[in-house]
Structure 1
Amino acid sequence: MKPVGGGDRRNLFGRVPFMRLLDAQREFAEAGRARVVIDERAELGNVVGAVHGGVLVTLLDVVMASAAVSVFDFARTAVTLNLNTSFLGPGRGRLTADGEVVQHDASVAWCRAAVTDAGGRIVAQAQGSFRYLPLPQAS
C-alpha cells in the first residue's frame, strides 16, 4: 500500500480508500471539531440488524482524528495512540459522528466523540489520544 498524499491537504479524507469503501462523508472539520456521517446499508450490518460495531469505532476514530488535524489547519496528520469506546445502543439509519479536541499540545491531541442516530440517540461514544505526524508525501 502507498500513503495517501499530495493535492489539497484538506481533502485527504475523501481520498482514503477505506473511507470511500464505507462511503463515509466528512461534513466539516475546523477549529478542533469535526462531523462524519454514514448511512446504514446491508454490507455494514451485524447479526442483530444494526451497523456493525467495527464501523462505529471507525467513525469515532476518524472523526476525532479529523478534529485533531483541523487544529493545525491540516498541516499534519494524526494517528491513534489509544481509543476507548462504549456502545450504548444499536446503530441504525443515518449515523452522525461528532468529535472534538479536549486538549492538545504540539505532539498529542486528546479527544472525545459520540455517534448518534437520526433520532439523536447516542449509540456509541469514545475518547482517545492521537499523535501528530508530518503529512505523507505523494509517491
Structure 2
Amino acid sequence: MTPVTGADRRNLFGQVPFMRLLEARREYSEGGRARLVIDARPELGNVIGAVHGGVLATLLDVAMASAAVSLFDFARTAVTLDLHTSFHAPGRGRLTADGEVVQHDAGIAWCRASVTDDGGRVVACAQGSFRYLPLPQAA
C-alpha cells in the first residue's frame, strides 16, 4: 500500500480507497466538527440485515479524525490511539456520523462521535483519542 497524497489536502478523504469502497461522503469538516453520511446497501450488511458494526465503527473513527484535522486546516493527519464504541440499535437506511473535538493540544485530540439513522435514533456512539502526524509526502 502507498500513502494517500495530493495537492488538495482538504480532499484527501475522498481519495482513501476504503472510504470510496464504503461510499462514505463527508458533508463538512471544520472548526473541530465533522459529518459523514453513508447509505446502507447489501454489501455493508450483517446477519440481521443491518449495517455491519465494523462499518459503524469506521464512520465514528473517521468522523472524529476529520474533526481533529479540521482544527489545523488539514495541514496534518490524525491516527487513532484508542477508540471506545457502544452500539445501541441496528443501523439501517441513511446513517449520519457527527464527530467533534472535546479537547486537544499540539499532539493529541480527544473526541466523541455518534451515528444516527434517518429517524434521529442513536445507532452507535464512541469516544477516542487521535495523534497528530505530518501529512505523508508524495514519493
TM range (shorter): over 0.9
SS in 2 for 1:51: coil
Matches of 1:124 and 1:22 in 2, distance apart?
17
Which residue of 2 is the match for residue 9 of structure 1? 9
Point out 4+ residue stretches in structure 1 off by more than 4 angstroms. none
The CA deviation string for residues 30-68 of structure 1, in whole angstroms up to 9 with x for no partner, is: 000000000000000000000000000000000000000
Report the residue type matching 1:119 in the other structure: G
Whole-Å Cα distance in 2 between the matches of residues 39 and 90 of structure 1? 14
For 1:128, the equivalent position in structure 2 comes to 128
How many residues in Structure 1 have an aligned counterpart in Structure 2?
139
2:19 aligns with 19
AA aligned opposite 2:26: R
Task: List per-residue Cα deviations over 1:65-124 (Å, max 9, x = no partner).
Answer: 000000000000000000000000000000000000000000000000000000000000
Counterpart CA distance in 2 for 1:49 and 1:42 is 8
SS of structure 2 residue aligned to 1:103:
strand
RMSD: 0.4
After TM superposition, give the deviation of residue 6 of structure 1 in Å.
1.9
The residue that corresponds to 2:96 in the other structure is 96
Letter in 2 for 1:35: R
Identity of aligned residues (%): 81
1:119 matched to which residue of 2? Answer: 119
Q: Which residue of 1 aligns with 2:57?
A: 57
Any stretches of 5+ residues in structure 1 without a counterpart?
none
- Rounded Cα–Cα distance in structure 2 between residues aligned with 1:13 and 1:111: 18
Counterpart-to-counterpart distance in 2, 1:44 and 1:88: 18
SS at match of 1:58: helix
Q: CA deviation at 1:126?
A: 0.1
Q: SS where residue 65 of structure 2 aligns? A: helix
CA distance in 2, matches of 1:97, 1:116: 7
In structure 2, how many angstroms separate the alpha carbons of the residues matched to 1:32 and 1:12? 17
- Structure-1 separation of matches of 2:64 and 2:138: 24
The one-letter code sitting in structure 2 at the alignment partner of 1:106 is A
Q: Is the partner of 2:60 in helix, strand or coil?
A: helix
Q: Offset of 1:138 from its aligned partner?
A: 1.4
